[in-house]
Amino acid sequence: MALKPDVSALGANESPASSADSTLAEAEAEAEADFGSTAGNGGAGSGPTAQERKCGTKSNKGPVAGDACDNDLDMLPTSLTPLHYDIRLHPDLLSGQLCGSVAIDAVATSSFRTITLHAKTIDIQLATVYVDGVVLASIEAHNVHYNEEMETAQLCLPSEVLLPSTCSQLNVQLIISFAGRISDSMYGLYRSKTRNRHGQPAHMLVTQFQAKCARMAFPCWDEPAIKAEFTLTLTVPSEFTALSNMPVTHSVDHGKLKTVYFRRSPRMSTYLLAIVAGELDYIEAISYSGPKTDSGDARQAVPCRIYTPPADIDKVQFSLDTAVRVLEMLANMFNYEYPLPKLDLVAVPELEAGGMENWGLVLFRTVRLFITKQTSLWIRQKAVYVISHELSHQWFGNLVTMAWWDDLWLNEGFATWIGIYITDKLYPEWKRWDHFVIEDRQAALSADSLRSSHPIQVTIKGSADIDQVFDSITYYKGCSLIRMLSAHLGIDIFMAGVRAYLYKHAYSTATTKDLWQSLETASAIDVGRMMHSWTAHVGYPVLTVDDSLDDCQLQLRQNRYLNSGKPTQEEDQTVWWIPLGLVTSDTPAAHEILHQRTGTIEIPQNARWFKLNHRNAGLYRVCYSRTALKRLSLAIRTKELCTVDIVGILNDMVALVTSGYLRTSTMLDMVSSFAAAAESYVVWQILGYFLESLLLTWADHSDQLHLQVRELARSLFAPKAAALGWTHAANEDPLVARLRAIAIPRAAWAGDSAVISHACELFTEFYLNPDIKPFHHDFTASVFEIAVRHGSDINYERIREMYESSQRWHLSEDHRMAALGAMACTKSEDLMKQTLEYALSDHVLPQDLNIVIGFMVSSHPHSKYVVWQWFCANYQQVVDRLGECSALLGHVVGSVIGEFANESMAQEIEQWFGSKRTAAFDRTIPQSLEFIRVRNAWYQRDKDDAALWFSKYR
């Protein structure tokens, strides 16, 4: 599942889907043939203990060699293990009520007196317990005991059930009838707003069970290691299309309702069970990604469909074509067939994440699937990545699942890496790994530079911890480590280890140690020892280079890097395994390793320059001397370094300036060198980020420096925008087009009157002539934003009209979201407040609230204060709209408080949240406060240094 709301690309996270036909008997027979019988999958074996579940199991039969475990976890008792759920649900979308029943086949491997399952917002009406086919007890509603904090229901039996000495297990069946509620938040079983076949407002039924919300739809053992098989029966309105993980076997009509029966699933975790029902249309294609044919030189066909609301079916052909290609690539890369008989992708109007990888039924936000000729290049790239990310989970996450949430990075870090890898293979001209270095890798390095960060393998003790680890550490640090390791081992050896891992742990769970063991077998390298410091410890190193003692030798020292400055001795205990990747003017990259605190490395005597961390494969920063930086500056000007290496130097310098390793003037001295040599959009994007960060830090303290930073930015971006112009040339490199789409809004941000004037003219022309768009769709978001930010209030009213009536202007989904973001860029404080109130209305979906907030807090120096005051006054309304346990609430909180740069605001925020329940985002607050204090320290430390530099610059 994907991570944070992407306010620049107007979307957020990731996931999968299902459908087909056969008789019920055939379906069950085929299920056993395809996935193995229950016993064959280990389902009839003894159930895992809480420690075994956390440490990893093989087919739920017991512990596998795994990492050390923490017994103090909020896990269910282990006397019973479910094998199969037969779930029957009848949701009523009008009333919001849910009634259902579940028959659970389980085995008991020890004596028990109580049965404890997960249940949240579920009322158990009657539970009948059978042991070896004999009724043991019928438990009525008043005898069910609920624990709201643990989200469990306990069934108390009249006497203890003893395990006879003559057998190792008992067969237990629970038949439970229950009532529940359909949620209006985006988790559990919920209602999503949509439009029916006649274009009228309607609802569709959707599930979001990751990470711990299956318990909101039916009583279950809701932990990832407790895998079982599922058979689903669903009663819905007769006009609905009903989808789940497996194909439909048959349906029975009952007038206005119908009951739909689905095939039995393979063993999987509860969080992967999925349901979608609504008025939907689909398009279909065939992917040759199934089991290999008898000849062994081809694969069998797998039907792939994309479902959308009826009016939108013409928007998803590109996404379907992409899904087919990606699925085939994955089956061949893993040398393992796609494990299910079909794959459905569904465009869901309201979805908390950008995607959700339910096995066989992958869900996406509409902006991630609706790709048309009007869609910008960046959104198209994002769509390919998100589809690749979610489909890779069908193997890495669904077929093999992490044993407990502390190994979530196994799912998400790998899926992030494979998503980028496949995008780069499909569209090498996009240079997706270059973008990874400036965006995703930087997000990981930024978050992990905080004292309030966490190890990639983080302790998860209870429900409140789980949602918060779907963060940039899990996704992007995880991806960065996979990238570093695959580069060191070589992609062929790395993938051989991955294939062995998948085959060994298929239909079961695994741990980080299990992956290392498979890679060790493939590579004959002690991967576990090599990677332990990276996964088990918080943070990452900065490598300080001393080149002053010997022209042919570099003295190296590694220390933990902190954004707030040098670490204490206690904070600096970890010694990392570091691939040095040394490249010089005279020699190619060398693959030497630093695995001690200090070390030396040789360079050629006449080398004009040297650079460590070639192509930024390693997850660390490098602090060079001023002399070394001057030599690298010349190498940049003479174009001797590749783009990724230039980006690495630039990124490291920005970070080292922020933390005090370098002075701000050192970075400012280098800006012209970077700009003079920069032909790639990624370099210009980082320059823009640095100047924006400088502006953000100085805006609260010095109006003079604020103006000087904008003047510097204008001197860089205005000429670049003028040279590139507003027109994409035929057959132009897509990255030149991307640079143009960056330079124009940056020039406007810096105050370039020519760009601002032209953008406002284009906006007016488009508004008055909706059928004739006078600019390329790559500029749509920029034109909208500039027109509202710099134009009159009439442009604000016009952009709102375009958002509400997007069809009139033929706006794609991403451009409709761009219109919403542009509304937040108004300079009028009254209109800011009006926009924030609008964001809580029915005009804006809850998932899109953070688009408004994310744009507004950074649009003007005073706007973040307006947002903060509004948030404090409307906090409960925000919580009610998003849900107290929603991951979106944490994203919103981070956006609201994350842009300040002075100590007084840090103290005010700290005090305000002191009286609030913050369990759902208690990592977000300390991280945001630390960023605020880092910026404040940067200003206090370098204000005179920067002022002196700008006085000379002028």
Average pLDDT estimate for 154-160 = 90
CB 814 within 8 A of CB 786: no
Separation of alpha carbons 122 and 101, rounded Å: 11
Percent of the residues in the chain that have a pLDDT greater than 70, as a whole number: 91
The predicted-structure confidence for 517-526, as pLDDT tens digits, reads as follows: 999 999 999 9
pLDDT score, position 10: 32
Percent of the residues in the chain that have a pLDDT greater than 90, as a whole number: 64
Confidence grade of residue 462 (pLDDT, cut at 50, 70, 90): low
**Is the pLDDT score of 61 beyond 80?**
no
Separation of alpha carbons 483 and 477, rounded Å: 10
pLDDT score, position 422: 97
CB 9 within 8 A of CB 335: no
The predicted-structure confidence for 855-866, as pLDDT tens digits, reads as follows: 999 889 899 999
**Is the pLDDT score of 69 beyond 70?**
no
Confidence grade of residue 324 (pLDDT, cut at 50, 70, 90): very high
- The catalytically annotated residue of 52, 151, 357, 390 is 390
> Which has more confidence, 917 or 74?
917
Confidence grade of residue 171 (pLDDT, cut at 50, 70, 90): very high
pLDDT score, position 920: 75
The predicted-structure confidence for 127-143, as pLDDT tens digits, reads as follows: 999 998 888 899 999 89
DSSP state, 78? S
pLDDT score, position 71: 41
- Extract the tokens encoding 47: 């159930």
pLDDT score, position 445: 92
The predicted-structure confidence for 597-633, as pLDDT tens digits, reads as follows: 999 999 998 889 999 999 999 999 999 998 899 899 8
pLDDT score, position 606: 85
Average pLDDT estimate for 259-282 = 97
Using alpha carbons, select from 175, 227, 248 the residue that is nearest to residue 38: 227
Q: Spell out the residues 6+ positions from residue 868 whose beta carbon is closer than 8 angstroms to its own.
A: 896, 897, 900, 905, 909
Out of 162-176, 234-248, 493-507, least confident range: 162-176
What secondary structure does DSSP assign to 386-425, as a single string?
Answer: HHHHHHHTTTBTTTEEESSGGGHHHHHHHHHHHHHHHHHH
Could you give phi then psi for residue 129, rounded to 5 degrees? -110, 125
pLDDT score, position 73: 58
- Extract the tokens encoding 295: 């000849």
pLDDT score, position 133: 87
Confidence grade of residue 57 (pLDDT, cut at 50, 70, 90): very low
CB 300 within 8 A of CB 292: yes
Average pLDDT estimate for 325-354 = 94
**Is the pLDDT score of 463 beyond 80?**
no
Separation of alpha carbons 806 and 793, rounded Å: 20
pLDDT score, position 549: 66
**Is the pLDDT score of 50 beyond 50?**
no
Distances (CA, A) of 889 to 73, 559, 847: 25, 35, 10
Average pLDDT estimate for 44-54 = 44
Strands 281-292 and 299-308: antiparallel
Neighbouring-strand partners of residue 193: 203
Out of 352-366, 407-421, 700-714, least confident range: 700-714
The predicted-structure confidence for 104-116, as pLDDT tens digits, reads as follows: 999 998 888 999 9
> Which has more confidence, 344 or 565?
344
Confidence grade of residue 732 (pLDDT, cut at 50, 70, 90): confident
Average pLDDT estimate for 85-95 = 95
**Is the pLDDT score of 479 beyond 60?**
yes
Composition of the chain by helix, strand, coil, percent to 5: 45, 20, 35
Average pLDDT estimate for 562-576 = 92
pLDDT score, position 38: 33
The predicted-structure confidence for 395-448, as pLDDT tens digits, reads as follows: 999 999 998 888 989 899 999 999 999 999 999 999 899 888 888 898 899 989
The predicted-structure confidence for 659-675, as pLDDT tens digits, reads as follows: 999 999 999 988 877 77
pLDDT score, position 212: 87
CB 2 within 8 A of CB 353: yes
What end-to-end distance do the CA atoms of the chain give, in Å? 49
Separation of alpha carbons 497 and 531, rounded Å: 15
CB 372 within 8 A of CB 215: no
Average pLDDT estimate for 279-284 = 97
Neighbouring-strand partners of residue 348: 365
Confidence grade of residue 880 (pLDDT, cut at 50, 70, 90): confident
- Extract the tokens encoding 756: 């601002």
| Residue whose pair of structure tokens reads 């005991």 in the numeric block | 145
Burial status of residue 68 (CB atoms within 10 A of its CB: 0-12, 13-18, 19 or more) = exposed
**Is the pLDDT score of 159 beyond 80?**
yes
pLDDT score, position 41: 36
Respond yes or no: is residue 390 known to be catalytic.
Answer: yes
Q: Any idea what the Cα angle at residue 233 is, between residues 232 and 238, rounded to 5°?
A: 135
Confidence grade of residue 921 (pLDDT, cut at 50, 70, 90): confident
pLDDT score, position 609: 93
pLDDT score, position 238: 95
